[in-house]
Structure 1
Amino acid sequence: MTPFGQKLRELRGARGIALKDMAAALRVTPAYLSALEHGRRGRPSWRLVQAIIGYFNVIWDEAEEIERLARLSHPRIVIDTAGLTPKATEFANLLSERIAFLSASEIDRLIEAIPPNPRRAPPKAN
Protein backbone atom coordinates (compact mmCIF):
# COMPACT_ATOMS: atom_id res chain seq x y z
CA MET A 1 0.00 0.00 0.00
CA THR A 2 1.22 3.52 -0.72
CA PRO A 3 0.82 6.58 1.53
CA PHE A 4 -1.77 7.94 -0.92
CA GLY A 5 -3.61 4.62 -1.04
CA GLN A 6 -3.71 4.45 2.74
CA LYS A 7 -5.11 7.99 2.96
CA LEU A 8 -7.70 7.25 0.29
CA ARG A 9 -8.84 4.14 2.10
CA GLU A 10 -9.03 6.04 5.42
CA LEU A 11 -11.13 8.81 3.85
CA ARG A 12 -13.50 6.30 2.25
CA GLY A 13 -13.82 4.29 5.44
CA ALA A 14 -14.43 7.33 7.65
CA ARG A 15 -17.26 8.41 5.37
CA GLY A 16 -18.65 4.92 4.76
CA ILE A 17 -18.22 5.14 0.99
CA ALA A 18 -18.09 1.96 -1.06
CA LEU A 19 -15.23 1.62 -3.51
CA LYS A 20 -17.60 1.08 -6.45
CA ASP A 21 -19.60 4.21 -5.60
CA MET A 22 -16.51 6.38 -5.40
CA ALA A 23 -15.12 4.90 -8.61
CA ALA A 24 -18.37 5.65 -10.44
CA ALA A 25 -18.37 9.25 -9.19
CA LEU A 26 -14.75 9.72 -10.31
CA ARG A 27 -15.37 7.94 -13.64
CA VAL A 28 -12.71 5.30 -13.06
CA THR A 29 -13.14 1.57 -12.63
CA PRO A 30 -13.39 0.03 -9.19
CA ALA A 31 -10.42 -2.17 -10.15
CA TYR A 32 -8.28 0.91 -10.86
CA LEU A 33 -9.29 2.61 -7.61
CA SER A 34 -8.57 -0.60 -5.69
CA ALA A 35 -5.16 -0.87 -7.39
CA LEU A 36 -4.38 2.74 -6.37
CA GLU A 37 -5.31 1.98 -2.78
CA HIS A 38 -3.17 -1.16 -2.68
CA GLY A 39 -0.13 0.33 -4.43
CA ARG A 40 -0.42 -1.78 -7.56
CA ARG A 41 -0.68 1.29 -9.81
CA GLY A 42 1.62 4.26 -10.21
CA ARG A 43 0.90 7.64 -8.72
CA PRO A 44 -2.42 9.12 -9.81
CA SER A 45 -2.64 11.97 -12.29
CA TRP A 46 -2.95 15.55 -11.06
CA ARG A 47 -6.52 15.65 -12.43
CA LEU A 48 -7.55 12.54 -10.53
CA VAL A 49 -6.01 13.87 -7.32
CA GLN A 50 -7.99 17.11 -7.77
CA ALA A 51 -11.16 15.11 -8.45
CA ILE A 52 -10.60 13.11 -5.24
CA ILE A 53 -10.04 16.30 -3.25
CA GLY A 54 -13.30 17.66 -4.66
CA TYR A 55 -15.12 14.39 -4.07
CA PHE A 56 -14.23 14.45 -0.37
CA ASN A 57 -14.74 18.22 -0.23
CA VAL A 58 -11.49 18.81 1.63
CA ILE A 59 -9.68 22.13 1.64
CA TRP A 60 -6.41 23.78 2.60
CA ASP A 61 -4.09 21.63 4.68
CA GLU A 62 -5.89 18.35 4.07
CA ALA A 63 -5.98 18.96 0.31
CA GLU A 64 -2.26 19.81 0.32
CA GLU A 65 -1.56 16.65 2.31
CA ILE A 66 -3.44 14.52 -0.24
CA GLU A 67 -1.43 16.14 -3.06
CA ARG A 68 1.83 15.54 -1.17
CA LEU A 69 0.98 11.90 -0.52
CA ALA A 70 0.10 11.39 -4.19
CA ARG A 71 3.52 12.78 -5.23
CA LEU A 72 5.24 10.38 -2.82
CA SER A 73 3.25 7.29 -3.77
CA HIS A 74 4.84 5.79 -6.83
CA PRO A 75 5.29 2.12 -5.87
CA ARG A 76 8.17 1.46 -8.31
CA ILE A 77 10.92 4.00 -7.92
CA VAL A 78 13.95 4.52 -10.14
CA ILE A 79 16.81 6.40 -8.53
CA ASP A 80 19.23 7.99 -10.99
CA THR A 81 22.60 8.37 -9.29
CA ALA A 82 24.50 9.25 -12.47
CA GLY A 83 26.78 12.15 -11.67
CA LEU A 84 26.47 11.68 -7.91
CA THR A 85 29.10 10.37 -5.56
CA PRO A 86 29.95 6.66 -5.34
CA LYS A 87 28.55 6.71 -1.78
CA ALA A 88 25.20 7.97 -3.11
CA THR A 89 25.08 5.09 -5.59
CA GLU A 90 26.02 2.61 -2.88
CA PHE A 91 23.32 3.99 -0.59
CA ALA A 92 20.63 3.79 -3.31
CA ASN A 93 21.55 0.19 -4.09
CA LEU A 94 21.67 -0.88 -0.45
CA LEU A 95 18.31 0.73 0.17
CA SER A 96 16.74 -1.07 -2.79
CA GLU A 97 18.14 -4.41 -1.61
CA ARG A 98 17.24 -4.05 2.06
CA ILE A 99 14.15 -1.83 2.35
CA ALA A 100 11.84 -4.83 2.74
CA PHE A 101 13.75 -5.87 5.85
CA LEU A 102 13.73 -2.49 7.63
CA SER A 103 11.46 -2.01 10.61
CA ALA A 104 9.02 0.89 10.80
CA SER A 105 11.25 2.63 13.35
CA GLU A 106 14.33 2.23 11.12
CA ILE A 107 12.42 3.70 8.19
CA ASP A 108 11.25 6.58 10.40
CA ARG A 109 14.87 7.30 11.37
CA LEU A 110 15.98 7.33 7.72
CA ILE A 111 13.12 9.66 6.77
CA GLU A 112 14.07 12.00 9.62
CA ALA A 113 17.69 12.04 8.42
CA ILE A 114 16.69 13.34 4.97
CA PRO A 115 16.49 17.15 4.90
CA PRO A 116 13.18 18.57 3.64
CA ASN A 117 13.06 20.11 0.15
CA PRO A 118 16.75 20.59 -0.60
CA ARG A 119 17.13 23.67 -2.78
CA ARG A 120 20.76 23.26 -3.68
CA ALA A 121 22.24 21.24 -6.54
CA PRO A 122 23.31 17.70 -5.61
CA PRO A 123 27.05 17.13 -5.06
CA LYS A 124 28.91 15.86 -8.11
CA ALA A 125 30.97 12.70 -8.16
CA ASN A 126 34.73 13.08 -7.91
Structure 2
Amino acid sequence: MTPLGARMRALREERGVSLKQMAAALNVSSAYLSALEHGRRGKPTGFLLHRIITYFNVIWDEAEELQRLAELSDPKITIDTAGLAPEATELTNRLAAAIGKLDADDLIALRTELQRRASKPRT
Protein backbone atom coordinates (compact mmCIF):
# COMPACT_ATOMS: atom_id res chain seq x y z
CA MET A 1 0.00 0.00 0.00
CA THR A 2 1.22 3.50 -0.76
CA PRO A 3 1.06 6.47 1.63
CA LEU A 4 -1.71 7.99 -0.51
CA GLY A 5 -3.54 4.66 -0.70
CA ALA A 6 -3.46 4.25 3.07
CA ARG A 7 -4.83 7.76 3.60
CA MET A 8 -7.54 7.30 0.97
CA ARG A 9 -8.65 4.07 2.62
CA ALA A 10 -8.71 5.75 6.03
CA LEU A 11 -10.81 8.61 4.65
CA ARG A 12 -13.23 6.16 3.05
CA GLU A 13 -13.56 4.19 6.29
CA GLU A 14 -14.02 7.34 8.39
CA ARG A 15 -16.87 8.38 6.12
CA GLY A 16 -18.39 4.93 5.69
CA VAL A 17 -17.86 4.95 1.92
CA SER A 18 -17.26 1.72 0.01
CA LEU A 19 -14.64 1.39 -2.69
CA LYS A 20 -17.42 0.82 -5.21
CA GLN A 21 -19.28 3.99 -4.15
CA MET A 22 -16.16 6.12 -4.37
CA ALA A 23 -15.17 4.65 -7.73
CA ALA A 24 -18.62 5.40 -9.15
CA ALA A 25 -18.50 8.99 -7.87
CA LEU A 26 -15.05 9.51 -9.41
CA ASN A 27 -16.03 7.76 -12.66
CA VAL A 28 -13.22 5.21 -12.40
CA SER A 29 -13.41 1.45 -11.96
CA SER A 30 -13.35 -0.02 -8.48
CA ALA A 31 -10.50 -2.26 -9.70
CA TYR A 32 -8.44 0.84 -10.56
CA LEU A 33 -9.22 2.49 -7.23
CA SER A 34 -8.31 -0.71 -5.37
CA ALA A 35 -5.04 -0.95 -7.30
CA LEU A 36 -4.32 2.70 -6.50
CA GLU A 37 -4.91 2.08 -2.79
CA HIS A 38 -2.79 -1.09 -2.75
CA GLY A 39 0.14 0.36 -4.67
CA ARG A 40 -0.34 -1.67 -7.81
CA ARG A 41 -0.89 1.56 -9.78
CA GLY A 42 1.27 4.65 -9.80
CA LYS A 43 0.26 7.95 -8.36
CA PRO A 44 -2.92 9.40 -9.85
CA THR A 45 -2.94 12.22 -12.35
CA GLY A 46 -3.28 15.73 -10.97
CA PHE A 47 -6.82 15.83 -12.35
CA LEU A 48 -7.86 12.63 -10.55
CA LEU A 49 -6.12 13.73 -7.36
CA HIS A 50 -8.12 16.98 -7.48
CA ARG A 51 -11.33 14.95 -7.93
CA ILE A 52 -10.37 12.78 -4.91
CA ILE A 53 -9.76 15.91 -2.81
CA THR A 54 -13.09 17.35 -3.93
CA TYR A 55 -14.87 14.04 -3.27
CA PHE A 56 -13.68 13.98 0.33
CA ASN A 57 -14.35 17.72 0.71
CA VAL A 58 -11.21 18.16 2.79
CA ILE A 59 -9.82 21.44 4.10
CA TRP A 60 -6.75 23.06 2.55
CA ASP A 61 -4.21 21.56 4.95
CA GLU A 62 -5.51 18.07 4.34
CA ALA A 63 -5.69 18.68 0.59
CA GLU A 64 -2.02 19.68 0.64
CA GLU A 65 -1.24 16.56 2.67
CA LEU A 66 -2.96 14.38 0.06
CA GLN A 67 -0.92 16.09 -2.67
CA ARG A 68 2.29 15.51 -0.67
CA LEU A 69 1.36 11.85 -0.13
CA ALA A 70 0.67 11.45 -3.86
CA GLU A 71 4.21 12.64 -4.61
CA LEU A 72 5.55 9.96 -2.24
CA SER A 73 3.36 7.18 -3.63
CA ASP A 74 5.08 5.91 -6.75
CA PRO A 75 5.37 2.16 -6.04
CA LYS A 76 7.87 1.58 -8.86
CA ILE A 77 10.43 4.27 -8.25
CA THR A 78 13.73 4.25 -10.17
CA ILE A 79 16.85 5.72 -8.61
CA ASP A 80 19.65 6.90 -10.89
CA THR A 81 22.93 6.93 -8.95
CA ALA A 82 25.11 7.67 -11.96
CA GLY A 83 27.62 10.34 -11.03
CA LEU A 84 27.04 9.94 -7.30
CA ALA A 85 29.41 8.45 -4.74
CA PRO A 86 29.80 4.65 -4.86
CA GLU A 87 28.13 4.52 -1.45
CA ALA A 88 24.92 5.87 -3.02
CA THR A 89 24.82 2.98 -5.48
CA GLU A 90 25.59 0.47 -2.76
CA LEU A 91 22.92 1.89 -0.46
CA THR A 92 20.33 1.87 -3.24
CA ASN A 93 21.07 -1.75 -4.12
CA ARG A 94 21.10 -2.90 -0.49
CA LEU A 95 17.79 -1.18 0.15
CA ALA A 96 16.25 -2.74 -2.98
CA ALA A 97 17.37 -6.20 -1.85
CA ALA A 98 16.28 -5.82 1.78
CA ILE A 99 13.17 -3.65 1.75
CA GLY A 100 10.77 -6.59 1.64
CA LYS A 101 12.40 -8.09 4.74
CA LEU A 102 12.11 -4.97 6.90
CA ASP A 103 9.22 -4.52 9.30
CA ALA A 104 7.26 -1.30 9.81
CA ASP A 105 9.42 -0.20 12.76
CA ASP A 106 12.61 -0.63 10.71
CA LEU A 107 11.13 1.33 7.82
CA ILE A 108 9.99 4.15 10.09
CA ALA A 109 13.43 4.32 11.74
CA LEU A 110 15.19 4.44 8.36
CA ARG A 111 12.78 7.08 7.02
CA THR A 112 13.17 9.21 10.15
CA GLU A 113 16.96 9.04 10.03
CA LEU A 114 17.00 9.85 6.32
CA GLN A 115 14.73 12.85 6.84
CA ARG A 116 16.87 14.04 9.75
CA ARG A 117 20.13 13.75 7.84
CA ALA A 118 18.76 15.18 4.60
CA SER A 119 17.40 18.26 6.36
CA LYS A 120 20.74 19.10 8.04
CA PRO A 121 22.48 22.07 6.42
CA ARG A 122 25.60 21.11 4.51
CA THR A 123 28.84 22.62 5.70
User: What TM-score comes out, normalization by structure 1 length?
Assistant: 0.88
User: In the TM superposition, what whole-angstrom CA distance separates every residue of 1:44-83 from its partner, at most 9, and x where no partner exists?
Assistant: 1111111100000002211111111111111111111011
Report SS of the residue matched to 1:114.
helix
RMSD: 1.6
The alpha carbon displacement at 1:103 in A equals: 2.1
Worse-matched range after superposition: 73-82 or 103-112? 103-112
> Which stretches of structure 1, 4 residues or more, deviate above 2 A after TM superposition?
115-118
Matched letter for residue 112 of structure 1: T
Structure 2 gaps, min length 5: none
Residue in 2 that maps onto 1:22? 22
Task: Find the aligned partners of 1:49 and 1:62 in 2 and give their Cα distance.
Answer: 12
**Residue number in structure 2 paired with 1:72:** 72
Equivalent residue, structure 1, for 2:89: 89
1:84-123 alpha-carbon deviations (Å, 9 max, x no partner): 11000000000000011112222112111223776x9xxx
The structure where helix makes up a greater share of residues is: 2
Percent sequence identity over aligned pairs:
56
User: Could you tell me which residue of structure 1 aligns to residue 5 of structure 2?
Assistant: 5
- Can you give the 5+ residue segments of structure 1 that lack an aligned partner in the other structure? 121-126
